[in-house]
Amino acid sequence: DHSYPVMTITSNKTAVGVGQTATLTFTASVAPKSGDFTVDDLYIAGGALSGFSGSGSVFTATFTPTAGFSGNATIDIPAGSFVTDSAMANLRSITKTITVDTVAPTVTSVTASPTVGTYKAGAVVPISVVFSEPVTVTGTPTLKLASGGTTPQLATYSSGSGTSTLIFNYTVVAGDNSADLNYFDTASLVLPTSPAATIKDPGLNVAVLTLPATTSGTVGNLATNAAIVIDTTAPSAATSLALTSV
C-alpha cells in the first residue's frame, strides 16, 4: 500500500481527575513499519503515558495526569513520526486533548438568602454553601447548625447540583434561638454514608468539606456573611400589676 498513513487518537474518557487514568487508542490507516511507531514518537503535556503496546495498525497506552495540573493535556504525533513498509511517512500531525482537573473543589463561603431576617418556629431558612468551582451532588449532604436549642439542627441539601452554590434548607423548630446564626464548626458539612452522599467536581475530584472558621468576624462564615436571627421564645406575660393612686 503506497498510501500515506493517517493516525487517529481516541480516548475512553474526555476528562480525568485525581487518581484517574484514560486509555488511549492509536489507529493507523496503514500499518506503520514494524518497530517504527513507538512511545518515543509521542509528545505529552499535562501527563504521562505508560503501558504502550500494540502491533499492526492499532496501539494503546494509558494516560495519567500530572498531579496538581489542571487544564487541557495534549498528546501529539508530529508529522513524519513513522513510515509504512512502503516508506510512506505520516504527513499530518495529530493532537488529542483531554481535560485534566486534579484540583479538589473547596468551600469559599457560607451565607443565607436573604442575608438578613428573623425566623420563628416552622420557618425555613435557605443557606448557601459556595464552592470554588461547580460541583455535582448525589444523595443528601447536611449542614450542622449552632441553632441554640438542646440539639444542633441540620440543614439538608435542597438544590444547586451542577453549580458552585449549593442550597441547604433549615427548618426552625421550637427551642431554637440564635442572635446570629452560624454553623456548628468547620466540620459541619457532612456526607451521610447511608444512603451515601457525594460532592465532586466534573473531574470527579472529591470536594474538601472544611468550612471557614466560626470565629466572630472570620471571612466566609455564615455569621459574618449574614445576620440571621432565630427566635422561638414567646413573649412572657406580666407577672404583676402595679397600681398608683389617683
Q: Write the pLDDT tens digit of every residue in 86-127.
A: 999 999 999 999 999 888 899 999 999 999 999 999 999 999
What is the rounded distance in angstroms from the CA atom of residue 125 to the CA atom of residue 207?
24
Question: In this predicted structure, what is the pLDDT of residue 235?
Answer: 74
Question: In this predicted structure, what is the pLDDT of residue 223?
Answer: 97
What is the rounded distance in angstroms from the CA atom of residue 122 to the CA atom of residue 125?
10
Question: In this predicted structure, what is the pLDDT of residue 238?
Answer: 57
Q: Cis bond leading into 5, ω under 30°? A: no
Question: In this predicted structure, what is the pLDDT of residue 187?
Answer: 97
Question: In this predicted structure, what is the pLDDT of residue 1?
Answer: 62
What is the rounded distance in angstroms from the CA atom of residue 86 to the CA atom of residue 89?
9
β-strands 58-65, 47-55 pairing: antiparallel
What is the rounded distance in angstroms from the CA atom of residue 45 to the CA atom of residue 182?
45
Question: In this predicted structure, what is the pLDDT of residue 67?
Answer: 84
Q: Which stretches of the chain drop beneath a pLDDT of 50? A: none
The dihedral of CA 115, 141, 187, 131: what is its sign? negative
pTM over 0.75: no
Strand spans (E) along the chain: 7-11, 15-16, 22-28, 43-45, 47-55, 58-65, 70-77, 94-101, 107-112, 116-119, 124-131, 136-138, 142-144, 154-159, 165-171, 177-178, 189-190, 198-200, 227-231
